[in-house]
Each structure stands twice: as C-alpha cells, then as structure tokens.
Chain A
C-alpha cells in the first residue's frame, strides 16, 4: 500500500527525448523520496489535509449525515444529479488485475483508456493535488492514484472535487493502468466521478496505534482466506456480531473475507447440482406451503390463505412430495430449497434453512453412502485443494480441529457400537416396556440427561449423542437405526427391528440423513400409528400421518433411496463458521428493543 507516498509524474511529453525523460524522472523520484522521508518523520500528512481527514473521522455521525444531505441538496439545486443513471465500465476490477498484474514497477500504460467503478474504502492524500484511494468491487481491490496533472479538470476543480469525495462513496473512473514505484497496481484517473455518495460514516479499524495498524494490515494481507483454512473475525474492521448480521451489507463491504464465504456457499450448491445432473437427476420444486407438515419431526409454521380460507403449513421437509414424484415416474429427482421449523434459535439452528434432498429409484442406502462420499470428498477437494480442512468446531476461542474428508468414511453400526462403548446389552425388542426401562436406567447410570417424555426413541437418541456422536470428528456414517427412530425408513433386510438408514456426522453434528425408503404402504401406516403413540405420550416432534402420502404409496414406489443434507451446515464446515449465522446472508434475529 502506498500510503502517503507521492508518485513520480509519468512522462507524458512524447516529444522529449528518452534521456531527458529519464533525467526528469530520476530527479522527481529523488524529490519524492526526500519528501517521503520528511513525511515519515513529521507524521505523514500535510497540515491542511490532516485537518480535513481528521475532521471527517472525528465528526459526529449525525453531523456527517446531515452535512452530506445538505451538500446533495445543493448539488440537486444546481441541476446536477448526484445519482447518475449509468456508468459504462470497460472491465471489472478483477479483470483489470488479471490483465495488468504483470506490469513492471513504475510502468504506466498511458495510451490505454479504461473505465472502472467501485467503492472507495480508503482515502489518503499527500497534497491537495494528489489523492490515493482504495477501490473495491466484487471482492477485489486496486489503488487509485488521482494526480491533478493527469486529470481532465483544472487544478482548482480537482482540489475541490476530491476534497468532497468521501470514504464509502461509489465512484466511476476513466484512466490508464500502471504500477506505482512501490509495485502497487493502480489506475491513474483522467476523470473520476461520484456515482453514489455514501451518506454515513463507515466504521474504521478499531486499532488505534499506527504500528499496530501496520502490523495487522500485514497479517491480513498475508492471510488471504480460502475455503478449508481458518478465519479470524477478530481481525475484521467491523467486528460487532449484531451489526454484522443485522446490516450484512456493511459486513460484506468492510470485511473482505465475508464475500468469499458467500461465494463459497454458492460454489457448494452449484457443485452439488452439477454432480447430480451428471448422474441424470433432475431438479424439481415441491410446495413450501402444504396442507399437512410431513416428512420430518418438527414444529411447523402455520399461515392462512385468505381467499381460500385455508390453513397452510410451511414445509418442514420436502421428502413426501419428492417421493410422490418418484411414484409418478421421475426416477432421479432432487430439490435444493428452504425448509422452515418453528423452533428456537441457536448456533446451529435457524427458523429457515436450506435443505438438499435427492431420491434415486432402484438404489439403496449402501449406494447412497458411496454417492455422498464421492460428492463430499470431491467437493472439499475442489474447493480447498485438499481433503483436509481446519475448523473451529468448538468456537473461535478454542484451537481448530482438522477434519479429513478422504474417502471411505468410517461406518459404525448404531446399536452394536452403542452396546460395545457403553458395555450394554440392549433388549432386542425395542418397542417393549423392558427396553424402555432398560434405556432409562442406562441414561441414569451414565448421567445422560433426557428431558421428558421418556420415549424409547428419545432415550436412545440421547445415548447415541453421548456415546457415538461425540466420537465423530471426521465424517462418520452411523448406520442401521432402530425402526422406532425412523418412521420413513425401510426395515433392514437382515436385522430385525432395525432400518436401512444412515446419518453422516461431521464434527459431532449431523450433516446428512438417508435411508432405503419405506415403500410398503401397510408398514408405513403402521409406523405412523406408532408415532401417534409417542405423540400421545407428549412427544410433539413425533411425525403425523399423511394420508395422501400413504395412498400414493399404494400406487407403488419403486425401491428407492433418498438423502437429505443441510447446506448451511456444510457451508459452515467449509468456511470455518462455528455459528450458522455466518453463512446465512440475512439471518433471523431477535427483535431489537
């Protein structure tokens, strides 16, 4: 960064001989160096400029706002539209960097005219005739070196205009590319125009002392974040979590890594789409508002259609509709879409989240384990360049863990593993009273908390959480869940009482849930009936009967395997985000007082 260093004036008189030019340049460079030394010792900024920057910095934010509004009003009165309609850019900042990154130090390409636009996030000046700006756009940044000598404006105009340009303004620039003496790729404007003024003062880096600032800048520059490595939001310009989430645009604007989080999220989704499209899957859309909320165990949002005078639920899962489409003859379908659950919010749960579900006729859960292994390991490799990622699984305060996505993933059998880890011999008939009593005692013995109601399903779930999920840092399939825990999964072909189901755990959290789909309509009805029993015991997360789904099964669902994966959770892993709000652009927040 060329802070406060003036640049040599480039040779613009083509009639002069090369030697003269060289001499001139050297002289100027010497002069610049001397000036530079002087500045470093005398706190860098010329008096009048320091004053002005300081004024903007220390000004009361409301004062800043009203000043800007006033100056806009003046502009409008004088017939100038402070919000021009269009600015033609000839390339993006990223393209500019790609094209001119190989210029040599000090080179200027004066015969090229380029127009760029972006937001100014840093403004410095070494005199009223030379301004430096950092221009940001679409996640990239270059320097702007506005020198009155290159400008189409006369000097007075130039001084006046640039003193009115504020940090945060969006500007359009026509000029030529070059590299500064310090090797910083820059654009040298012939003209610079404010396209959209920023009416508010932008937050600044909170670090006060200059040496600290320099150091931290150095650090952040070396540490350009990419998926798979750790982040440190403590180094962000805007650090307050509430503000970051409530005013995401500020977060995106000021914290350069944040844009990359959402670009990574977009890549995760498009990688998943391409992967399934290549296997012959088609993307479909099923209703987000439905007459019954089925396919999962969760409390739904309720709404009302006025004209039809009809109660509607927001979907808690697209599962039942997707299976209906398989019945209808679409053998391989998937949907990526929002799902809604009317539940509390915490680090991993928000009321709306993005679910990725796919269903594949004539396949079983073994096939899906292979497919998801391939999808995830391939994606991690593509996005991070490796199969191993670093993740602050226990929050930014603790050391990050390493998670290895190298296939094949570990597979553990739920009951067998639980029995061996806890040294238990669980009764085979899990629907029995004996089993319930046994598990309740086991929970007490190991001090595993399970709030009422103490249904066998819930007790088992808590024990599995305690003994198995805790061991799953690297991707691990927990397989063959009991029937009572899995009302939509098919009974295991060889293990009575169990189902052909797996859950994929990564960093102790469920990422995927999949099974060979239950397609016997009679057994499905019976499973719903058992869920009803749990509901009557007070488990309001037990699934409700969906009659239209059962009668659909009577037309025949081919042998099918299906999988659901939480996109937000996957995005959390690949962007080192311990909090789900880091990967959702506009997360639901508690109302402000």
Chain B
C-alpha cells in the first residue's frame, strides 16, 4: 500500500504527484472494507464455532487454549482496525530486502561486541517473522526469523520516527511479519542486530503461535497444520529444503548420464505395472471410470519402444492402501529405463544416486539413521536371495525338490519356533516355491539388512515384468536394494519377449480373479469376514496396448524404481514418511 510507504521514512517508490489521491482512496476503501469484514468475520466465526467446540471437547490438550485463541484473535483484529484507522495497511504489498539474516550473520561475523557500523554502506533491510520480543522503557529487542535464520532487531525510541516506537510496543505481536531497515550493531552481549530506524508491519498475524513446550506435542496437529509446525520448529522446514536438494541431485546425476525427463499419464484406463489396489475416479465428459496410476513402468517402457534410449520420470504414484509410518496413499518415485543395459548396470546407478544425494545433503557417506550407523561407502554388498535366506535360516532352497508341501515342512521345521501365527499362516498359504522363498526372505532376512544390500535374482513367480535369468531357470534378473531393513529400489533386466510377457500378465490376472472370487464367496457366506480379503476386491485388467508395444519391439533394457520419500527419510533421519511429505494424508479428524 502506498500509504504505508509514505509513513516509512525511506520511501523510494511513492510518487508524490498522486499521493494524496491514493491516500484518500486507500483510507476510505479501507474503512468500508473493515466494516464489511466485521460482518463477514462475525458470520464466519459463528459458523466455525461448532467445529471448534467439537474439537475442544474431544481433545483435552487444546481445550484450554481455544478460548485463549479466540481472545487473542479478537484483540489482534482490533489492532488491525487501529492500524487502518491510522492510515497504515496491516497487510503490506512488498518489501525490498537487501540481505537475508544468514547473509548478515556471515558478513558481520567478525564484528566485535558493542561495535556499531552506522555509515550508509552498512544500511540494510530485512524481513521476517517476529518470534520473540522484549520491551523496556525506551528500548525493545525483537527476534526476527526469515527463511535463512534469525537476527535481532534493536529498537531505540529516539531513533524511530513519530509514534513508531509506541506502535512497536502496542501493535506488534509475536507472529507478525515485519520489514525493517537500519544499521548494523553487535550488542554488548554479543547479539548481532539491525539497529532499526524504520520498520513496517507487513502482515499482522491473528493467531498466537504455539508455545514451545506445549503446542507441538500434538503430533496429529503437526501434520495437519504443517505451517504451524514449520514456524515453531525451523528444523522441520529444513527437511523440505533437503528434500528439494535431493530431488535436484537425483536429476543432476541421471541427466549427466543422458537421461531425458518425461511425463506419463496419472489417469489411466487400466492401472498396471505393479500389484496394488488403485484409486478409481470418473471422468464426466468421457463417461468412464479412470484409474490413478500405481506405477509409471508400462508407459516408460513404451518410450523405449518409441526410440528413446534413456528416460526417467519423477512423479506421484497412488495406491489405495492403508497409511502407516512407511506408507502414504500418494508418494513419489523415480523410475528410469536404459536401453542396452541390464540389472548389473542399474546397481551401479543406484549406488551412484544414493551416494551423490548423501554427499549433497550430509557431506559424508557414514550417516546415522534412528540410532543405527549406516555405511554408504561403495561398493555395496550384492548377494542372491537364495544365499541370504540360507545364511539367515539355514534353509538351502536350491536343494529343495519341486514339492511345495515338502518344502514348507522343511522351512517350518527349520524356523518354525520363531514364528508367530500370522507369519506361519502366510507361509502355509504360499502358492509356489518362489512365493515361499520370498515369504521366508521377508520374514527373516529383510529386517536384518541394515547396511546397503542388493538382493539379487528373485523367483519368477513374483516378478512378472522381469526377464528370466540368463543362467538360472526359475529366477529372474531382478534386484531390490535394502537399507535399514527397508526396500529402497526395485530393478530388473526388463522382459522384452511379448509372448512371455502376455503369458505372465494373463497368469497374474487369473490369480487375481481367483482371489477375488474367493473373497466374494467368503463375504457372501459370513458378513463379518468382510475385511479379510477386501484388498483384492478391485479389478485387474490386461494392458493390451502395452503388449502390442512390446510386439513392435523393445530393446534389451534395464529399469529401476526408487522411492524418493524413503530416500529422504533415510538421509534426513526421519522416522516416519509423514515427516518428509509436507501434507500427508491423515484420518478425518474427529
């Protein structure tokens, strides 16, 4: 607002010729708006009260704060009016910063205690949120925080124009966003400060910030109102800065190797490329159901058919599944495909990406994750699934005959004692030797893979898109990367034979439909068992167009999918996926 700039001492932008006019208009429309706002705010408050009360009644931790909040809000709304009545717009338009707080801290780090730099060349301008405040008779100290860090505002009454000091004391609250300019001073106590000669309220905040000790214990609220979390805990914002750095580093790493970024559709006629329950939506003008993608794989492979040799996509994937500290219904992956390479070369790529990101974010390859020291120095261990299972359980699957029943007995005999009933029944339910191997691997080996490990050569039964192993029948050229007991990446030499691919996908559809039919009959019989197999109640269809594309020929290739959220968790030492997703999906609040 121009009026605001007049009021500031150093107005460089206001043009005097139309000032009066602007001022007049600004004030009158401001007043009208205030009146309107009063009515609107009252309405809004009325309609909002029920929900606030409801929350208060169920959540004891915030019940005492609610009335405080409303009281604070009312007081601050009065201040908004007061400011406007003085011709000051409490929601400014713009502020030209000369420095960030961090830049000032760097530039003046050698300034001695008590020293001041008052010349024109040390005149600076900054902006940020007020996070602490102490006021004395003719002196006030405010702590201002911006994107980069904090700095103190040193405010003396006689240095400020007119009644600015009074305004500072009466109208500025913690939480307000201020722009301030002045000279540089380090206080006797050693605090680098901007000695303010003018300031303006850029944004009047209406709600109090949560206090450090109570406000943030409510984890649910931290995720729901991420911005409050970020204001109160600057280190939370750091996670998102690091996330951005990781994304940038991944792109840099793959693009320097000639990969091209592409975008494939989110809304699809059939959701393929993985086994997961998809989200369904309806397109009005097409008049048909559409599925949200559960993987980018099948479309990226079409790009290889089209003649791109190195492509990648970083994008959102959607799976209609439960939420946990490791799962959010939407998450971000990078999937990359390279013609004329195989899964061996993808292992190098995985090592390269993860170590580059670790160096960029942490500056070193030994990192701490939730108390465990992780060594990311290359090369990482590469071991077959068979050998790992043998190492941990003593069961050598290569020696087992094709008899599934016998195999299960051998497994249960070897490891049966350590099993809870759930694991036991999932072992008994395994439909094939490959499934059994994988089940044993998941139960016994996965949690032990803390240090980076490539698990190689998965059974064909659980790898419908991977190429058969060039030497070992029944296996595929596939690896998964595990760090801290979690799967971080999944990759294969891609299956390029269209006939083999069709057979495997048809088999997958058949298996799914069988499960689905069983689930239906179960729910028909006894209504209470409804939840048992609801997981398989969705439809799986064959992606015929993908198979046609393969018939036109896809070059030998390898591909990898890497979970970016999990990588960010690892590199920022975050326990939950909700810590690395700015606005995670949460249960509807009661």
> Which residues of A are in contact with B by a Cβ distance under 8 Å?
65, 69, 72, 82-89, 92, 117, 119, 136-139, 168-170, 172, 195-200, 202, 246-253, 259, 262-263, 266, 269-270, 273, 277, 282-291, 299, 301-308, 310, 312, 314, 321, 324-325, 327-332, 337-338, 340, 342-345, 351-352, 354, 361-364, 366-367, 490-491, 493-494, 496, 500, 516, 519-523, 525-526, 529, 547-548, 550-552, 554-559, 561, 584-588, 590-591
Contacts and interface: CB of A to CB of B under 8 A. Distances in A.
Contacts of A500: 93
Given A521-B206, A522-B40, 4 more contacts: A168-B552, A330-B240, A344-B285, A361-B147
Contacts of A84: 556
B553 A282 contact: no
Interface in B227-245: 227-231, 234, 236-237, 240-241, 243-244
Nearest to A518: B91
Contact of B553 (A168, A328, A363, A366): A168
B215 interface: no
B292 A303 contact: yes
B266 A253 contact: no
A314 B551 contact: no
B91 A554 contact: no
Interface stretch (B427-435, B452-460, B493-501): B493-501
Contacts of B37: 522-523, 526
A45 B552 CA distance: 27
Nearest to B19: A494
Nearest to B90: A520
A496 B203 contact: no
B73 A92 contact: no
Nearest to B126: A362
Given A84-B556, A552-B225, A248 B302 contact: yes
A325 B551 contact: no
A394 to B, nearest CB: 25
Given A92-B309, A302-B281, A526-B37, A325 B582 contact: yes
Given A363-B94, A554-B205, A586-B299, A329 B29 contact: no
B247 A283 contact: yes
Nearest to A516: B93
Contacts of B341: 86
B279 A362 contact: no
Given A306-B534, A519-B203, A337 B244 contact: no
Interface residues of B, number: 132
Contacts of B202: 362, 558-559
Nearest to B584: A287
A138 B308 contact: yes
B195 to A, nearest CB: 21
Given A196-B496, A340-B266, A519-B203, A345 B285 contact: yes
Contact of A338 (B255, B316, B321, B340): B316
A259 B307 contact: yes
B286 A328 contact: no
Given A195-B556, A310-B588, A330-B230, A69 B94 contact: no
B572 to A, nearest CB: 14
A536 B294 CA distance: 38
6 contacts: A169-B553, A200-B551, A285-B581, A328-B237, A344-B285, A591-B288
A329 B100 CA distance: 13
B539 to A, nearest CB: 14
A247 B207 contact: no
B26 A85 contact: no
A308 B321 CA distance: 9
B335 to A, nearest CB: 14
Contacts of A253: 305-307, 552
Contact of A308 (B73, B332, B588): B588
B446 interface: no
B266 A352 contact: yes
B422 interface: no
Interface stretch (B135-143, B173-181, B184-192, B378-386): B173-181
Contact of A252 (B97, B147, B307): B307
Binding site secondary structure of chain B: mixed
A198 B499 CA distance: 12
Between B21, B94, B285, the greatest number of chain A beta carbons within 10 A of the residue's beta carbon is seen for B94
B283 A301 contact: yes
B197 interface: no
A196 B496 CA distance: 7
A192 B247 CA distance: 40
Nearest to B531: A307
A277 B308 CA distance: 27
Contact of A299 (B240, B267, B284): B284
B534 A493 contact: no
Interface in B5-41: 18, 21-22, 25-26, 29, 33, 36-37, 40-41
Contacts of A287: 330, 583, 585
Contact of B94 (A286, A345, A364, A552): A364
Q: Which 7 pairs, one residue from A and one from B, show the smallest C-beta to C-beta distance? A: A252-B306, A328-B230, A556-B205, A328-B227, A249-B306, A282-B244, A522-B37
B492 to A, nearest CB: 11
Contact of B552 (A198, A302, A362): A198
**Which of B41, B92, B263, B322 has the most C-beta atoms of chain A within 10 angstroms of its own C-beta?**
B263
A170 B318 CA distance: 34
B303 interface: yes
B146 interface: yes
Contacts of B549: 247, 249
B583 A329 contact: no
Contact of A284 (B280, B497, B582): B582
B209 A555 contact: yes
B283 A87 contact: no
B585 to A, nearest CB: 7
Residue of B93, B248, B277, B587 ringed by the most chain A CB atoms within 10 A: B93
A555 B129 CA distance: 10
A556 B175 contact: yes
Contacts of A340: 266-267
A199 B552 contact: yes
Nearest to A362: B95
B237 A559 contact: no
Contact of B340 (A117, A277, A342): A117
Contact of A558 (B127, B251, B281, B556): B127
A531 to B, nearest CB: 13
A363 B94 CA distance: 5
A93 to B, nearest CB: 9
Given A248-B306, A364-B93, A325 B36 contact: no
Contacts of B94: 362-364, 366-367, 516, 559, 561
A308 B323 contact: yes
B299 A493 contact: no
B307 A138 contact: yes
A270 B312 CA distance: 13
Given A248-B302, A289-B585, A85 B203 contact: no
Given A525-B44, A556-B176, A329 B206 contact: no
A555 B228 contact: yes
Contacts of A586: 264-265, 299, 302
A331 to B, nearest CB: 4
Contacts of A559: 91-95, 177, 202-203
Contact of A555 (B231, B243, B307): B231
Contact of A87 (B25, B227, B556): B556
A253 B308 CA distance: 9
A552 B240 CA distance: 19
Contact of A494 (B2, B90, B251, B581): B2
A464 B531 CA distance: 56
Contacts of B306: 248-253, 259
Nearest to A344: B285
B485 interface: no
The listed residue with most B CB atoms (<10 A of its CB), out of A325, A585, A587, is A585
B206 A519 contact: no
A199 B498 contact: yes
